[in-house]
Structure 1
Amino acid sequence: MLPRLEISFDGREPVADMFEKTRAAAENGASTVWLASHLFEQDPVSSAAVMLERFPSLDMVLMAISPLVLHPVQIAMSAATLDEMFPGRISVCLGVGSPDDLGSAGIDAGKPLQAMKEALALCRALLSGDKVTLEGQRFVVSGRALRSGNHPVPLLMAASGPKMLELARSEADGVLLSAATSREFIKSTIARLHAGKPARAAFDNCGLVYVSVDDDRAAARDRLRSKLAVTLRGAHHAANLDAAGSKLDQAALRDAFTVGRISEAAHIVPDQVVLNHSAAGTPAELPAMIQTYRDAGLDRVILSAFGSVAEIETAMKAMKTTERLSDEV
């Protein structure tokens, strides 16, 4: 069985552009679209409803909905409603959310592990049709159930730290690793994830992978420098960089962003960092690069960061052609 082709959108582009890219993905064999949830950007729930209607061949994943922003009861309601309209085509990935975004909205991010634990339990029980009573530290529900009953919506969790990973393994249907994560860090993270108790049945190791394709290999790499600069400047990526042997001046990146010199920040990201933390190259090279992420332990590779419809069409055709040939052999 061939791996599914999946793509993601970060919610930072006009809806019309996202729909056109989704159309290109659907017409070229994509099975699933992951829609990101970032405060002050596009809303993934309403976008998913329209896209599920427009593109009947596609499944949707709401990613990563924060229970610190949206109450778990509302998350379960949204998922159940979409599942009632489009049965079996919706999944939900929970995540804490960006500390900067949460702070900008005045949201208390204290004790995120406990909040995530309670949110997963609440969503799981409500989507199972159960009457729920919970007296948690963050959330309280008093003997209520979803009126629409049972909805078998898969629940995934975005995680990176050891305690969040442990929670994902024991309570979720899969884990999502962030973009710009190196193959070496993915491999060690997945090994850590499954070193203890076994995960739930049909558990998926999922990961976002920045992709850029062009007949000009240098142009493909250049397209991702700014995005990698934004992502990898965070101090929490130090272990990720170290695992891949990537040499990157994170302090210089942060300084460049502080003074608004985005173009300067992109120039700080060398070729080797682009190669270590993304899949950037020619269309012919793309399938082998994506395979390295599967070899590192990902069950589901989600192609991300496409800048245009043409890039999506080129990448999807490259993946489809190679995988069809390998299946025939």
Structure 2
Amino acid sequence: MPLGLSVASRSGLPARRFAELAVDAEAAGLDAFLVAERVADSFALCQAALAATSTITVGTAVANARLRHPALTAMTVATLDELYGGRVLIGLGVANAALNEGALGLPPSAPVPFMRDYVRALRAHLAGDAAGPTLDRAPARADVPIYVAGLQPRMLRLAGEVADGVLLNLTTPATLPGALAEVARAGRDVTVACILPCAVGTGAGTAGRELVVGYALHPAAAKLFATSGYLGEMTAIAGLLRDGERARALDLVTDAMVDDFLLHGDEHDVAKRIATYQAAGVDLPILFPIAEEGDWDRAVTATIDLAAKIRPSITKEVSACPRP
């Protein structure tokens, strides 16, 4: 069974450190090293990781598609994939209106139609048959895998229709079957990847509360928390955040919420939790370290060390599974 790692660019880790961590992930036997975009160019960080490694798949989980014309994404990806031996994976999302329209000043856009058109155009550019300006030459691999991040039903259905894989997030074992049912409605065989926030080697309290509060104002994420039975808590947390009461908002996050959305504990606890996702239909679990008190380097390193320990047991769980 493949196992991946996604590292947050909002960690502020230097690009050189991303490369070093990718080397460590490869040595630990991980199958994918992915970059979550926010405060740094995810594709530039991918290049650093690709240049430092030789076998591991490297990609984005996720890159904000709203920031790049699909032709530019195609040119970047085609170049990286050819230069580094066909090891690139494209994970795309549309972020949220607060970031795109509020902070970045982008024009409003309906997420699902935008992503549908984007993936179609990206594939056309990669294949060299897009109308108008396109790649000067066909890339070494026109079928670079494209994964679409989905939180809500319409985007999940779209991923099932147009993508090679779907990237799930904030999905608990209880809500996973419903998400998979939406993806499956298109009747296509797509790889199911699931980002699993985790905190290892420390108490999960602070990291878990920060995780929940960090998503409280994201409309789609808030709906996921509500679907999991936390509507009242998330409504109150969001209200406190809007009033500038972050400390009080953190205090409202319960242990039950943390346990549902964050993998934590020792290697046995984490491996057991990953196994529940595998059993439910996840092809590629992706560990996403959450920092305790801002120590991102320690969080990522501890997660890689833990992954090296549990990787053999995960491999034995499932003898055959699609690679990322």
- The two structures have a TM-score, normalised by structure 1, of 0.84
Task: Report what 1:68 is aligned to.
Answer: 66
Task: Report what 1:32 is aligned to.
Answer: 32
Matches of 1:278 and 1:306, distance apart in 2:
9
Structure 1 residue 147 and structure 2 residue 136: aligned?
Answer: yes
Contact 1:80/1:127 (8 A) holds in 2: yes
- Cα-to-partner distance string for 1:101-140 (whole Å, 9 max, x where unaligned): 112111013233222121111111121232x22xxxxxxx
Task: Report what 1:204 is aligned to.
Answer: 191
1:171-210 to 2 correspondences below 5 Å: 171-178=162-169, 180-194=170-184, 196-199=185-188, 201=189, 203-210=190-197
Residue 242 of structure 1 and its aligned partner are, at CA, apart by 4.4
Matches of 1:154 and 1:318, distance apart in 2:
28
Matched AA of 1:56: S
Distance 1:53-1:237 versus aligned 2 partners, 3 A rule: closer
Matches of 1:325 and 1:173, distance apart in 2:
25
1:227-238 to 2 correspondences below 5 Å: 227-238=211-222
Residue 276 of structure 1 and its aligned partner are, at CA, apart by 1.1
- Cα-to-partner distance string for 1:221-247 (whole Å, 9 max, x where unaligned): 443221222124544345433443347
2:154 corresponds to which of 156, 163, 172: 163
Cα RMSD, aligned residues only = 2.4
Which secondary structure state, in structure 2, belongs to the residue aligned with residue 170 of structure 1? helix
Structure 1 residue 51 and structure 2 residue 49: aligned?
Answer: yes
Matches of 2:287 and 2:62, distance apart in 1:
16
Taking only the aligned residue pairs, the percentage that are identical comes to 22
Matches of 2:318 and 2:311, distance apart in 1:
10
Distance 1:170-1:251 versus aligned 2 partners, 3 A rule: closer
2:281 corresponds to which of 293, 297, 315: 297
Task: Report what 1:121 is aligned to.
Answer: 120
Matched AA of 1:70: R
Task: Report what 1:112 is aligned to.
Answer: 111
Matches of 1:324 and 1:69, distance apart in 2:
37
Task: Report what 1:286 is aligned to.
Answer: 270
Distance 1:204-1:253 versus aligned 2 partners, 3 A rule: same
Residue 43 of structure 1 and its aligned partner are, at CA, apart by 0.8
Matches of 1:188 and 1:145, distance apart in 2:
39
Distance 1:97-1:235 versus aligned 2 partners, 3 A rule: closer
Structure 1 residue 258 and structure 2 residue 248: aligned?
Answer: no
Task: Report what 1:139 is aligned to.
Answer: none
Higher relative contact order (CA 8 A, sep 6+): 2
Distance 1:59-1:220 versus aligned 2 partners, 3 A rule: same
Matches of 1:248 and 1:112, distance apart in 2:
27
Decide which structure has greater helix share: 2
Matches of 1:170 and 1:163, distance apart in 2:
11
Which secondary structure state, in structure 1, belongs to the residue aligned with residue 306 of structure 2? helix
Task: Report what 2:77 is aligned to.
Answer: 79
Paired residues in the alignment total 307
Worse-superposed segment, 245-254 or 155-164: 245-254
Contact 2:91/2:147 (8 A) holds in 1: yes
Distance 1:237-1:126 versus aligned 2 partners, 3 A rule: closer
Contact 2:28/2:305 (8 A) holds in 1: no
Which secondary structure state, in structure 1, belongs to the residue aligned with residue 9 of structure 2? coil
Contact 1:182/1:278 (8 A) holds in 2: no
Segments of 5+ residues of structure 2 without an aligned counterpart are: 292-297, 320-324
- The two structures have a TM-score, normalised by structure 2, of 0.85
Matched AA of 2:36: A
Residue 52 of structure 1 and its aligned partner are, at CA, apart by 0.3
